[in-house]
Amino acid sequence: MRHARRRVVRRVTRLAAVGGLLAGSVMVAQAAMAGETPPASGRPLSSTAGALDTGASLVSRLGGARTAGNWVGADGRPVVAVTDEAAARAVRRAGAQPKMVPHSMDELKSATATLGSAPRVPGTAWAVDYRTNRVMVSADRTVSSGDWSRLTGVAARIGGFVHMERTKGAFTTRLNGALPILSTGGRCSAGFNVTNGQSDFILTAGHCGPAGSTWFADNQGDQQLGRTVNSSFPGSDFSLVQYAGGTAGSGADVVSVGGGKGVRITGSADPAVGQRVFRSGSTSGLRDGQVTALNATVNYPEGTVTGLIQTTVCAEPGDSGGPLFSEGVALGVTSGGNGDCRTGGTTFFQPVTKALTALGVRLIVAPGAGGAAGGSSSGANQGAMAPSSASPGSSAPVTGASRGSTLLARLTDTRNVGPGLLVIAGSLIALVATRYIRAEQDRKAYQRHYSATWG
């Protein structure tokens, strides 16, 4: 009876060990597959490739007197604000959704121009809200009651579609990334790597430092990164930092998102209102939110900046200049805002497309995205992307390591496959132990049998 029980225990132990080996192998394989970098995707974020009409093209074709902007609907379809039924029919024929509104884009732009011509009040900002067909004027806590009263009077004379609101915190530049860059003026974040064909540069925020500023990659000032050769702030908010060595090096098409990970950049585009976007910065890391307005104006204490992207993505000091992107498409660099990543707030970004045009440079993008490594690529208008459907983009090591890493390298990376290897090791020990126990029992049985025979 004891022998039968022992045989059952040994069999159960062996079966458990074999099962552990199989489970451990599956864990290792899954970890190795998870560690493999997916290929970079160069597809634009439009709903269908080669679509004849998008929200932006419809607005351009119908004109500012008959439309009042476009945005992304919850279903991912482009929505176009229109002022007459004929324009609405044209929008429907193009496959987009019209929304009838009382005020045209021409009226809304005239309102923002009037606000811009009034005496400047630091701590204020305004933008056109396409979805509510209003001009939204914000004033932070630094705006005095007298200035608020005067600005309210200007808004009242324009019309009831100008909406005034007080906000928490203060509108400031986010000086102090992707990866941090440091100078005597403070800390900023690197945005995107760009090139003019002869030299490579970092595209970052203009308020980070004037032309001639020297940047370092460390606090001690031992690793000189480069020097600012072109800067625009206020008015716009972008600058070029030329690499001290002339080239950006390997991984130039990648922006950091923290934890040793990065996103490959495949092109540039202008965002759409309602689009989900991502921002990376050295202070607050990777954050996401939605685009709420375009062509926004902010009156920073240092001066007025116009033509900005307004979003709900949070940012904090030190995030200035960091990249704004979606699905690997570069959209902007961090300018400023209010609030923080605990309470939320509004953040503004310098559009990448305008900065590239003004500076005469192009993005360094992933190989194949623009036809060749180091080429430039301009994504299609992204207005038909569902707000909730975007992701940061294809992942990559921040260092730009080779995408051809071997399976063996991933299998030997204990960070990825440690749990699976432990299960395999434990199972092997169990198998060896059961074999040893069985062999020892057989040896003793053999001795007992022959001892009795010899006796």
Catalytic residues: 207, 237, 320
Strands 303-311 and 347-351: antiparallel
Taking the C-alpha atoms of residue 127 and residue 293, their distance in angstroms, rounded to an integer, is: 6
Q: What is the distance between the alpha carbons of residues 407 and 377, in angstroms, rounded to a whole number?
A: 31
What's the CA gap between 121 and 144, in Å, rounded?
Answer: 9
Cross-sheet strand order for the sheet of 192-195: 186-189, 180-183, 214-216, 224-232, 238-243, 200-204, 192-195, 362-363
SS3 30: helix
Listed residue (335, 333, 331) closest to 302, CA to CA: 335
Sign of CA dihedral 306, 311, 314, 319: negative
Q: Which of 169, 118, 109 is nearest to 139 (CA)?
A: 169
Say which amino acid occupies 390.
Answer: A
Residues in the chain: 455
CA distance 13 to 28: 22
Which SS3 state, helix, strand or coil, does residue 307 take? Answer: strand
- φ/ψ of 179, rounded to 5, equals -90, 145
> Long-range contacts for 10-17 (Cβ within 8 Å, ≥24 apart)?
10/434, 10/437, 10/438, 13/430, 13/433, 13/434, 14/430, 14/431, 14/434, 16/427, 16/430, 17/427, 17/428, 17/430, 17/431, 17/434
Could you give the residue ranges of the DSSP H alpha helices within 263-395? 352-359
Return the number of other C-beta atoms located less than 10 Å from residue 259's C-beta.
9
Phi and psi at 442, nearest 5°, equal -65, -40
| Burial letters 55-93, b for 16+ CB under 10 A, else e | bbbbbeebebebbbbbbbbeeeebbbbbbeeebbebbee
Q: 């690997």: which residue's tokens? A: 328
- Omega prior to 38 cis, within 30 of 0: no
